[in-house]
Amino acid sequence: MINLKNKPFYLQEQDIEWVEETLDSMDLKEKVGQLFCTVGVMDDKEQLKTFLNKVKPGGIMYRPDKGEKIQEIHRVLQDNSKIPLLISANLEAGGNGIATDGTYYGKQMQIAATDDENMAYKLGIVSGREGRVVGCNWAFAPIVDIDMNFRNPITNVRTYGANSERVLRMARKYMEGISANGLAAAIKHFPGDGVDERDQHLLTSINFLSVDEWDATFGKIYKGMIDSGAQTVMVGHIALPEYSKSFVPNMKDEDIMPATLAPELLNNLLRDKLSFNGLIITDATPMLGFTTTERREIAVPKAIASGCDMFLFNKNIDEDFGYMLKGIEKGILTMDRLNEAVTRILALKASLGLHRQKESGTLVPNKDALSVLKCEEHEKWAKECADKSVTLVKDTQNLLPITPEKYKKIRLYVLGDSEGGFKEGSAVTDSIKLALEKQGFEIYLFDNENLDFGELFEGSVSSLKEKYDLALYIANIETASNQTTVRINWTQPMAANAPWFVKELPTIFISVANPYHLLDVPMVKTYINAYSSNEYVVKAVVEKITGKSEFKGINPVDPFCNVWGSKL
């Protein structure tokens, strides 16, 4: 039973009346439409109207674009929807999660490195304010995964680190900030990512913790967030075998499902044991962790039948819509479960006041509100966060700080630097080079594309030391979906850009996207983690390596990767 007056909805009688009257007024197809949170791909007004009239979705999510364009798309969506839409975005690192001209405040691990809950609160405020002005009302954040496995390619800097207590503290404060701006938070990815070393975008990943281990870590976090009022939970295509078997003792291994299709995890664990009364949404269903588990015709209705309330994204919306209807016809999804799911969707909308905003025409702010994007206050906070987060992992050669008097000529190596895909980070090559040149250094950029084969095969140690005083590595190898590793791949032939010269030339390695590169460069004696590739971090890094600012960050994870020699 859903108690709409209780946590997390807290609806008043008039709000409950709207939910009930709206539900009663809907036909079957309108109810099915509410189950879908579709991916936004169109920006043509007439196409959008046609889509809305056909599907009548409950929610939608667009990828980031210019704030003004996104705001106008959201306005068209809301103006042409009878029932207000849940409009979502991955507001994990700031307003840049929906507006490309918004503030890239910092990755979650950067915030964790400050060990300052106020920085997490400000991340929530920035994300909430900037998401709200373009029309968002739902943040697919905070990530409450625990980065237990340094080899995991998708959690990494998107998490608040490896300490469950810190994860909970930071996530609570983020949720407080996002909620203060009228957005619902979706804590993700239940039952918890970061345990194995694989990505649910590519297969069903496994959280292999025992029941007791899960309770003491992920369970504590989810219980804490639910008790603090989390309104929605995003469920991953992640299996939790030990817990599934604890609820269904005779379950065979081949019957263990990812959480999105596992009623024992959604109902027995999340609903009953953790007392979650809010809305459950699947993670994106084109992911292989979902598509490879069950025939889509069965999996689409089964996700809702198992306990999810909304279905995120589609392979094909017309086909998935038909699968949902067919699932009802075949009895996979009952009308009672459909009505329960739609009730929770409407209750979330009511708890956010979307029905009242619809009446007053305030679902999407006016264009003047866009001035908050990357405003002075938000940039000030982002600079403070960068200053407090940059972490000196080791300097066993006592190299820092560096000055132009001692290390005038710097050979700069940049690894990664925005290689496409759904990566939100910025390229850092030009900004690092310019910042160091302003300090009086001469910068010689290694060209990864046009190799000097004379240097590679005939270059001597003495000639290297004559040309350069110091080697500086900047690694911007971003965590992103649909990749199996986040490792350094050196340029061929002969690992041309690798630091073979660490015993010959003073060398510094700085990572702005992944804290675990000591796995691949344990021989480097001066190593710094900065977690995010935004402009504020770049400035803070240069100030710190030149001695104009002290290092203040703490390690939210073990950057030494338990590798012998990496601390030397």
Q: Which residues are catalytic?
A: 283
What are the φ/ψ torsions at residue 353 (nearest 5 degrees)?
Answer: 75, 20
Strand partners, 235: 190, 282
Residue partners of 456: CB distance under 8 A and separation at least 6 = 493, 494, 496
Residue partners of 39: CB distance under 8 A and separation at least 6 = 60, 61, 62, 284, 313, 314
Within 13 Å and on the Cβ side, how many CA atoms surround 555? 12
What are the φ/ψ torsions at residue 335 (nearest 5 degrees)?
Answer: -65, -35
Tokens of 548: 């104009």
**Three-state secondary structure call for residue 260:** helix
Distance of CA 348 to the CA centre of its chain: 22
Residue 148 amino acid letter: M
Dist. CA 288–CA 205, nearest whole Å: 10
End-to-end CA distance of the chain: 58
Q: Strand 138-139 and strand 184-190: pairing?
A: parallel
**Three-state secondary structure call for residue 185:** strand
350 burial type by CB count under 10 A (0-12 exposed, 13-18 middle, 19+ buried):
buried
User: Could you tell me which of 540, 514, 543 has the C-alpha nearest to residue 527?
Assistant: 514
Distance of CA 26 to the CA centre of its chain: 34
**Three-state secondary structure call for residue 511:** strand
Q: How many CB atoms lie within 10 A of CB 44?
A: 11
**Three-state secondary structure call for residue 472:** strand
Dist. CA 450–CA 443, nearest whole Å: 17
455 burial type by CB count under 10 A (0-12 exposed, 13-18 middle, 19+ buried):
middle
Dist. CA 555–CA 331, nearest whole Å: 51
User: Could you tell me which of 278, 337, 280, 290 has the C-alpha nearest to residue 314?
Assistant: 290
The answer to whether 18 and 350 have CB atoms below 8 angstroms apart is yes
Q: What is the residue whose two structure tokens read 């999660």?
A: 97
Dist. CA 294–CA 315, nearest whole Å: 14
